[in-house]
């Protein structure tokens, strides 16, 4: 039996890594246990490689849009070179990860973990078996792609969403992407950018049927995908598939058939089987099998926490990192910080970059506010017009009675960075006013945000509101 740790983390994906780092920074002695490649799905198969590929795809789209306006010649993608770059990037980050953990005195142990008790973990690996003791345990084992009975995954012709990058390397000529969520719209953009004929099918009546993403943003994204050549089928589901050596024949529920080289199934996630024994210790799960947690991310067993996709909630790397910070601090310091996913931006890298945080107009109305939207079209932006950028906008949602900042959505260039200005305003005690307080560079997208909010606030103050409240997520520290 080794010397006891303060915190043991099982799983080295985004959430587990962040939990370990946070706990170590709080002064805890930490061990991080991982049975596969350190970095989890985010580093190895999802966020990092997808971001690299999306950057090239976006650059291709931008360059093609500038032909005749300063650029000349033929612009084309080199998928083989792209994949070499992506693999080198992932390998480089993988090599650096153990050094970053070592710098924080975090022990990284390779092997399969199994909970013996709430404070003891048996680990079996290439170097034999050992048992580790810890005062607190954080589970971060992730989830897996949701299967679709009418379209069985064979890992060749029909592929799960978490294998998007390897599928891209196979260079399918005709791709069917099932699912109109974030992964679906990102995949449709990436594959089409590198020459595939893409059909995107969703059971819903709109893309991105997520409460945080405004309907205006979803409609604009759908229009841009359609204009680029992606075929979008809404209110459509698969009745059956037939796989042969040359491809996949798909029968849709309305009776029509389609022929594709590959099918990507991106219809959500389900829990992994419990291979580490938390159920046997009494950790409660919901009806689908996701681990149930309190707002502090502690499970039904005191001292055991869960983070990331294994506990349900928003299944994004940003949400997992948020979980990791909350659980890492609470486990290390016996704290009571609470999760709040309204503070976590959602970022989507597609033909129209999207990002959102806080409450959309619909969510705000459901929550009992009287929401008002400040709408800033990029058509008025000097930078957007100078760059010939695609249409886009910024929406800022606030309560018309109090001026309270509620959230916002950004569609178009720089969305993944601009959303943090919106988040900062939500967290500021000056709320909406904080955006008007700033001096902005010129010409930038941000200056349009400041100008629009300043003009809106002038009218708001003329109405002589009797109450002002800071943003609903404003820090009180």
Q: What is the pLDDT of residue 466?
A: 67
Least confident window among 14-23, 156-165, 314-323, 458-467: 458-467
Which tokens is 379 given?
């058509």
pLDDT in tens, 348-405: 999 999 999 999 999 999 999 999 999 989 888 888 888 877 689 999 999 988 888 9
Class of domain 5-144+271-342: alpha beta
Superfamily of domain 147-267: FAD/NAD(P)-binding domain (3.50.50.60)
Q: Could you read off the pLDDT of 267-306 as tens digits, one per residue?
A: 999 999 999 999 999 999 999 999 999 999 999 999 999 9
Least confident of 93-97, 110-114, 344-348, 451-455: 451-455
Q: Is the pLDDT of residue 1 over 50?
A: no
Bridge partners of residue 71, in order along the sequence: 67
Q: What is the pLDDT of residues 231-250, one digit of tens each?
A: 999 999 999 999 999 999 99
Q: One fold for both 5-144+271-342 and 147-267?
A: yes
Find tokens 């491809």 and name the residue.
247
pLDDT in tens, 10-69: 999 999 999 999 999 999 999 999 998 778 888 888 889 999 999 999 988 888 888 888
**The tokens of 410 are what?**
């950004």
How far is residue 194 from each of residues 89, 158, 171, 201, 329, measured CA to CA in Å? 20, 19, 8, 19, 43
> Cβ distance 379 to 391 under 8 Å?
yes
Instruction: Return mean pLDDT, the chain.
Output: 92
CA distance 316 to 313: 9
**Rounded to whole angstroms, what are the CA distances from 382 to 39, 447, 448?**
40, 10, 9
Confidence of residue 308 (pLDDT cuts 50, 70, 90): very high
Antiparallel, parallel or unpaired: β 120-125 and 128-139? antiparallel
Residue 300 Cα to chain centre, angstroms:
27
C-alpha 456 chain-centroid distance: 31
Tokens encoding 9: 């983390």
The SS3 assignment for 386 reads helix
Quick one: average pLDDT of 198-202?
98
Superfamily of domain 353-462: FAD/NAD-linked reductase, C-terminal dimerisation domain (3.30.390.30)
Q: Domain segments of the chain: what residues?
A: 5-144+271-342, 147-267, 353-462
């Amino acid at each position: 039996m080794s010397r006891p740790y303060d915190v043991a983390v099982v799983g080295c994906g985004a959430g587990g890594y962040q939990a370990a780092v946070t706990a170590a920074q709080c002064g805890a002695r930490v061990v991080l246990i991982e049975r596969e490649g350190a970095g989890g799905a985010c580093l190895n198969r999802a966020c990092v490689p997808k971001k690299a590929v999306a950057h090239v795809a976006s650059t291709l789209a931008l360059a093609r849009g500038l032909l005749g306006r300063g650029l000349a010649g033929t612009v084309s993608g080199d998928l083989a070179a792209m994949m070499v770059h992506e693999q080198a990037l992932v390998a480089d980050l993988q090599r650096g990860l153990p050094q970053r953990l070592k710098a924080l005195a975090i022990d990284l142990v390779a092997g399969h973990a199994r909970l013996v008790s709430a404070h003891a973990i048996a680990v079996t690996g290439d170097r034999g078996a050992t048992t580790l003791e810890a005062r607190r345990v954080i589970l971060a084992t992730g989830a897996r792609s949701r299967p679709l009975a009418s379209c069985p995954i064979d890992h060749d012709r029909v592929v799960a969403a978490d294998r998007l990058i390897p599928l891209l390397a196979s260079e399918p000529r005709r791709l069917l992407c099932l699912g109109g969520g974030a992964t679906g719209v990102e995949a449709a953009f990436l594959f089409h950018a590198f020459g595939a004929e893409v059909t995107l099918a969703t059971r819903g009546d709109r893309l991105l049927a997520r409460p945080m993403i405004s309907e205006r943003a979803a409609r604009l994204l759908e229009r841009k995908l359609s204009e680029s050549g992606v075929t979008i089928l809404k209110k459509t589901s698969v009745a059956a598939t037939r796989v042969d050596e040359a491809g996949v024949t798909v029968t849709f529920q309305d009776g029509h058939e389609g022929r594709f080289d590959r099918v990507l199934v991106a219809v959500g996630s389900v829990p992994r089987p419990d291979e580490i024994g938390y159920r046997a210790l009494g950790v409660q799960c919901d009806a689908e099998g996701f681990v149930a947690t309190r707002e502090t991310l502690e499970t039904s067993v005191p001292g055991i926490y869960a983070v990331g996709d294994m506990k349900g909630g928003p299944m994004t790397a940003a949400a997992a990192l948020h979980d990791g910070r909350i659980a890492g601090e609470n486990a290390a310091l016996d704290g009571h910080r609470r999760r709040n996913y309204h503070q976590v931006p959602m970022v989507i890298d597609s033909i129209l970059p999207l990002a959102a945080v806080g409450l959309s107009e619909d969510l705000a109305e459901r929550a009992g506010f009287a929401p008002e939207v400040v709408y800033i079209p990029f058509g008025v932006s000097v930078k957007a017009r100078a760059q010939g950028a695609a249409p886009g906008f910024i929406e800022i949602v606030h309560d018309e009675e109090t001026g309270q900042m509620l959230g916002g959505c950004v569609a178009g260039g720089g969305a993944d960075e601009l959303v943090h200005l919106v988040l900062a305003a939500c967290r500021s005690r000056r709320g909406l006013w904080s955006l008007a307080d700033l001096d902005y560079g010129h010409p930038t997208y941000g200056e349009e945000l400041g100008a629009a909010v300043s003009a809106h606030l002038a009218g708001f103050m003329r109405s002589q509101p009797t109450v002002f409240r800071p943003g609903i997520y404003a820090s009180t520290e």
